[in-house]
Amino acid sequence: MHWRIPRSHPRYESLIVREMLVEAFMEGIVVPQGLIAHGRGEAFDYILGERSHPFALLAEEATVASMLLARRPVISVNGNYAALAAREIAELSRLTGALVEVNLFYRTEERVAKIARLLEREGARNVLGVECEKAQIEGLESPRGIVCREGIYAADFVLVAIEDGDRTQALRRAGKVVAAIDLNPFSRTAQTAHITIVDEARRATKNMVEIASKLKEADRGRLEEIVKNYDNRRVLAEAFKTMMMRLSEAAEKGIIIEVP
Ligand code: PTJ
């Protein structure tokens, strides 16, 4: 059932996104644990002011440049990411030539098929996950480590979003460059990715679609320069500083929302 959220509600956008996730949960796309994960993300996004900061845009630009430079880039999609941004994922894949693969923490073949269908309905082509030769990522015990041989297994670059803690490390150990979208800069995923996008997954993917439509015409030299100049340690430090500044300001004022 869809709750009617009045447009005038001050938290309209956020409530609509919640509805999308609940609906996807009822369709069997998102797992119950995914709703908990979303709540954690919301808390960090609240502290960040629910917007894409310059440090996030830098990471998003470096991700798009890396995707355009990669030989075999793959966008790894789980239940939450599909529920939030299926259309944007399809568009990003089209613009960068990245493959889309469904890769789940709570893996069942039924969920993989449902998520692949949703992505295809929203425009993604040849989504990997269901019908592919399977391979195992070392360090991720079965069935969590099952991937497609011609997808994530062979990839040189993987974009993950809203991920659990050790997949990024395992992908790194397998020699891949990893970009991760994660609102929590403290998380293991955020700390171990080569490129960390501390931004909301839907917003981040929309931004990357915009960046990709500009950068897809850029020459290799320009893309290489973006990647070379990118400093993930600094980006993470900026994310922490921004949170600290927003919290310090709130701590000074006490009240930050004026009631008319
Ligand atoms: O669909 P499955 O089976 O692959 O399962 C997916 C979940 C999300 C259940 C699984 O990956 C998981 O348990 O994730 P965690 O360990 O809870 O981590 C999720 C991370 O993503 C946390 O650091 C959250 O802060 C962050 N996060 C949650 N929602 C968003 C987000 N980051 C960006 N955008 C969001 N919308």
Domain residue ranges in the chain: 2-51, 54-236
pLDDT along the chain (260 residues), means of 10: 75 89 97 97 96 98 98 98 98 98 96 98 96 93 90 98 92 97 97 98 98 97 98 98 97 89
Residue 222 C-alpha to ligand 1 middle, in angstroms?
33
Segments in 123-219 forming alpha helices (H):
167-173, 188-192, 201-215
Which residue lies with its CA nearest to atom 6 of ligand 1? 34
Tokens of 177: 């460059």
In angstroms, what is the span from residue 44 Cα to ligand 1's centroid?
Answer: 12
Q: Which CATH architecture describes the domain 54-236?
A: 3-Layer(aba) Sandwich (3.40)
> What pLDDT is recorded for position 8?
83
User: Ligand 1: which atom is nearest the Cα of residue 164?
Assistant: 16
Minimum CA distance residue for ligand 1 atom 17: 37
Protein residue closest via CA to atom 1 of ligand 1: 79
Spacing, Cα 237 to ligand 1 middle (Å): 21
Amino acid at 130: V
The amino acid occupying position 35 is L
Q: Ligand 1 centre and the CA of 34: distance in Å?
A: 6
What is the structure's pLDDT at 75?
Answer: 98
Atom 27 of ligand 1: nearest residue by CA position: 41
**pTM for this entry:** 0.97
Q: How far apart are CA 129 and CA 198, in angstroms?
A: 27
Q: Which pLDDT score, from 0 to 100, does residue 2 have?
A: 61
Atom of ligand 1 nearest to the CA of 182: 32
Q: What is the pLDDT of residue 4?
A: 80
187 lines ligand 1 (CB under 6 A): yes
Contact 147, 137 (CB under 8 A): yes
Give per-residue burial for 92-127: e unless 16+ CB within 10 Å, then b.
bbbbbebbbbbbbbebeeebbebbbebbeeeebeeb
The pick from 162, 191, 197, 205 for probing ligand 1's pocket by mutation, whose C-beta has the most ligand atoms within 8 angstroms, reads 162
Q: Is the CB of 79 under 6 A from ligand 1?
A: yes
pLDDT recorded at residue 12? 84
Give the per-residue pLDDT at 257: 87
